[in-house]
Amino acid sequence: MQEQQNKAGFGTLPVFLTAISTILGAILFLRFGWAVGEVGIVGVIAIVIISHLVTIPTALAVAEIATNQRVLGGGAYYIISRSFGFNIGGSIGLALYVSQAVSVAFYVIAFGEAFEPIIHYMQAAWGITFITKKIVALVTMGILSLLILQRGANLGMKALYFVVALLFIAIIMFLLGKPIEGADKLALNETVENPKDFFYVFTIIFPAFTGLAAGLGLSGDLKDPRKSIPAGTLWATVAGLIVYLIIAYKFAISATPEQLSGDQFVMEKIALWGPIIPIGLAAASLSSALGSIMVAPRTLQAIGLDDILPGKGPNRWMAKGRKKDNEPINGSIITIIIAFFFVFIGELNFVAEIISMFFMLTYGAICLISFLEHFAADPSYRPTFKSKWYFSLIGAILSLWLMFQMKWAYAALSLVLMSIVYIVITHGNPDKKGLAKLFKGVLFQLSRNLQIFAQRATKDPTEDGWRPFAISISKDTFHRRSAFDLMRWISHKYGFGTYIHYIKGFYNDETSKETEDVMGRLIKMASATKNKIYMDTIVSPSFTSALAQVIQLRAVSGKHNNMILFEFSRTDPERLVDTMNNYKLLNTAQFDVCILNTSYKGFGDHREIHIWITSEDYANANLMILMAYVMLGHPDWRKGVIRIFVLTPPEYRQQRWKELANRVKSGRLPISLTNIELVMESPETNRKDIVSHYSSDADLTLIGFNNYQLSGEIGKFEIFQGYENMGNILFVSSNTQKEIS
């Protein structure tokens, strides 16, 4: 990527003059009086204030972003692309460029309007009819094109000082003028009959406040952009606000609504010396046209320098500048063609609507960038001028809302077109990133704040009801994925899951490199499935030391984990040794313990989950029911059903049925009573045979166990064996009895 070098060496004053000449430009002379007549002084003040609720946050955001980085050519585009990424920046930059190019036509058309009194005089006195406002505008556009192609920005800036002086003389003459006959009072809410819609008037007036972007466009020609852009744009914005409020008051006390709405040159009748108004309009329009025709090609040149468009040819052509001063000649040619097209159309209000929509989109994007930068809290974001995040948020939200209030069809179309442009740019430049970096920072801060809130919000961990905060540790991750699958079902909707791959050894350069490789594989594995598991690794010389560290970890929610999952293959029961040797440690940590016994059948078709409840481990019943319910929340189990089997002696049959039915009904669980079955047992019954008989085709079977059953079983693990013909089995031990509320 190339960078555009400063050539002209302008200071702060050109930024101010370029911005203020656009703010106090054609709209002020041709449409502001009309606006006062249509919506009254209160309505116009509302338009001015609402507009500045967008432009002031944007000016503050621009000042902030500009003092955080080296600002080169391209103005608003450069700021957006360096903060939001080249793909987003390119999309917005192209929209900004089009609006700037159309602005040239808008101000040239307005310049032609300034000749209306002269044209009327020529028609009346000399009978000359072939000269029209459109002819004047087209001729002016031709002269302006030749001058900018021959002399560039320096000619424009020299002319700008002169025309801004005329502009302020015209405004002063207007303010010193006397009211028109019949305007003898100030009526705050007085308007014409059947006035235009407020937001239509707002759309026509808003281009008056887009001078902010005009000043930004000189960034590549400034000696010190980080100083001149904030000072110039802020002073111009504030000065424009004050002048518009004063002029609104002057209009309201100087003419009736009908006079204001019916005569676009009503200022001429009010001013101390009437002819100065067309002269001021011509000066304002010409200065704004000069500003826009200087800015637009520089935006296009900056886009070309960044290789935004697919293919090197178009980018090189747009980026090309004149050797002696880097003047963007090719960008100027494209701008002139677009401007000529809209000058030929010649409809001022239509062009104003287009400008308002695209500039509103640009301002909203700048405010959004500033807000996200504040929220992301990136240490590299250190502007010397600091705005407030809530100003930027207000500007962003208000811009989007106003777009749809002005004209929802245009707003929707502009967003769709920008999305299409973004897709094309991204397809051609997959390596250009930036948006991801910004949003990673935002998500990091959001996650951090939510974790802190969740940790502090509840002192009693049981008061909000039970949910699984599960952790799993395994060294067989890449051999068997059943434990990983179970974790992703648990953590999909209702719970939180942390999966840790155990690497045996001491932490050193070799194992550190191994953890990086393993993490890459883990993330790749996790990305290929629907899951919300936090992946990690741990290096430790023994499984016991690793487990001791793992059970002290907090869940990604900021709270303590309350459940741990182990896994062993039915063909390799010795994997249970490490788990059973550390069972007392898990009890000390008050963990619910789950042991997944995997078989060649796996989880089958994800259709049936069987839960077995016996009289000895009734404390596990609620946990098993809740876990089955949690797993059904995953799309893999969308067609799944829960079946409950209760082993009970015949004499307790009625009591067990009543207890279980009440649990299901009071807990509002998706278990039909027809899926609850009481299975009779006697002292001679072999429970494993019964379970194998009823659940041989189950996709997952949950069986409870407790500490008493484990006594004397270390090394034998008989309670976990003897189910050879079944699918996967999850053995569950609840540390405390859970409540189904």
Name the percent of the chain lying above pLDDT 90: 15
For residue 345, how many other CB atoms are within 10 A of its CB?
Answer: 12
pLDDT at 202: 93
Q: In 500-534, which positions are buried (b, 16+ CB within 10 angstroms) versus exposed (e)?
A: bbbbeeeeeeebeeebeebeeebeebbeeeebbbb
Name the percent of the chain lying above pLDDT 70: 82
Of 420 and 595, more confident = 595
pLDDT at 433: 56
Contact 625/644 with Cβ under 8 angstroms?
yes
Query: Using CA atoms, how far apart are residues 691 and 357, in angstroms rounded to an integer?
Result: 69
Each domain of the chain, given as residue ranges in start order, spans: 12-350, 463-565, 599-741
Q: Is the pLDDT of residue 431 over 70?
A: no
- How does residue 62 score in pLDDT terms, banded at 50, 70 and 90? confident
The region, left, alpha or beta by phi > 0 then psi within -120 to 50, assigned to residue 597 is beta
Q: What's the whole-number mean pLDDT along residues 326-331?
A: 82
Task: Give the burial class of 596: count Cβ atoms within 10 A of its Cβ; 0-12 exposed, 13-18 middle, 19 or more buried.
Answer: buried
pLDDT at 88: 75
CA-derived radius of gyration, the chain: 37
pLDDT at 729: 94
Structure tokens belonging to residue 576: 């249970």
Query: Using CA atoms, how far apart are residues 511 and 540, in angstroms rounded to an integer?
Result: 10
The backbone torsions φ and ψ at residue 393, rounded to the nearest 5 degrees and listed phi first, read -65, -45
Q: Which of 600, 615, 534, 538 is nearest to 570 (CA)?
A: 600
How do residues 452-482 score in pLDDT, each as one tens digit? 666 566 555 554 567 888 999 988 888 888 8
- How does residue 2 score in pLDDT terms, banded at 50, 70 and 90? very low
How do residues 119-168 score in pLDDT, each as one tens digit? 776 777 777 766 778 888 888 888 888 877 776 555 555 666 777 788 88
Q: Residue 128: CA atoms inside 13 Å, Cβ hemisphere, count?
A: 11
CA angle, corner 701, sides to 669 and 560, nearest 5? Answer: 65
pLDDT at 329: 84
How do residues 617-663 score in pLDDT, each as one tens digit? 777 888 898 889 889 888 889 889 999 898 888 887 777 777 777 76
- How does residue 596 score in pLDDT terms, banded at 50, 70 and 90? very high
Long-range contacts of 646-649 (CB under 8 A, 24+ apart): 646/613, 646/614, 646/676, 646/677, 646/678, 646/679, 647/612, 647/613, 647/614, 647/615, 647/679, 647/681, 647/685, 647/687, 647/690, 648/615, 648/678, 648/679, 648/680, 648/681, 649/615, 649/680, 649/681, 649/682
Q: What's the whole-number mean pLDDT along residues 19-38?
A: 86
Query: Using CA atoms, how far apart are residues 701 and 682, in angstroms rounded to an integer?
Result: 22
Structure tokens belonging to residue 253: 């006390």
Q: Does domain 12-350 have CATH number 1.20.1250.20?
A: no
Of 684 and 301, more confident = 301
pLDDT at 442: 64
DSSP string, 169-216: HHHHHHHT--PPTT--S--TT---SSPPPHHHHHHHHGGGGTHHHHHH
Q: Is the pLDDT of residue 498 over 80?
A: yes
pLDDT at 255: 87
Q: Is the pLDDT of residue 27 over 70?
A: yes
How do residues 507-535 score in pLDDT, each as one tens digit? 889 989 999 999 989 888 888 777 788 88
pLDDT at 701: 95
Structure tokens belonging to residue 555: 């869940």
Of 724 and 82, more confident = 724
How do residues 193-236 score in pLDDT, each as one tens digit? 888 899 999 999 998 887 766 666 555 566 776 677 778 878 88
For 674, residues 6+ apart whose C-beta sits below 8 A from its C-beta are none
pLDDT at 48: 92
Q: Is the pLDDT of residue 8 over 70?
A: no
How do residues 238-293 score in pLDDT, each as one tens digit? 888 899 999 999 998 888 888 888 888 888 889 999 889 888 888 878 777 877 78
Q: Is the pLDDT of residue 311 over 70?
A: yes
Q: Which of 505, 466, 387, 395 is nearest to 736 (CA)?
A: 466
For residue 198, how many other CB atoms are within 10 A of its CB?
Answer: 16
| Most trustworthy range by pLDDT among 265-274, 359-368, 408-417, 437-446 | 265-274
Q: What's the whole-number mean pLDDT along residues 11-39?
A: 83
Return mean pLDDT, the chain.
80
- The CATH superfamily holding the domain 599-741 is HUPs (3.40.50.620)
In the beta sheet, which residues pair with residue 554?
A: 560
pLDDT at 389: 83
Query: Using CA atoms, how far apart are residues 399 and 395, in angstroms rounded to an integer?
Result: 6
Residue length of the chain: 741
Query: Using CA atoms, how far apart are residues 289 and 270, in angstroms rounded to an integer?
Result: 26
The region, left, alpha or beta by phi > 0 then psi within -120 to 50, assigned to residue 437 is alpha
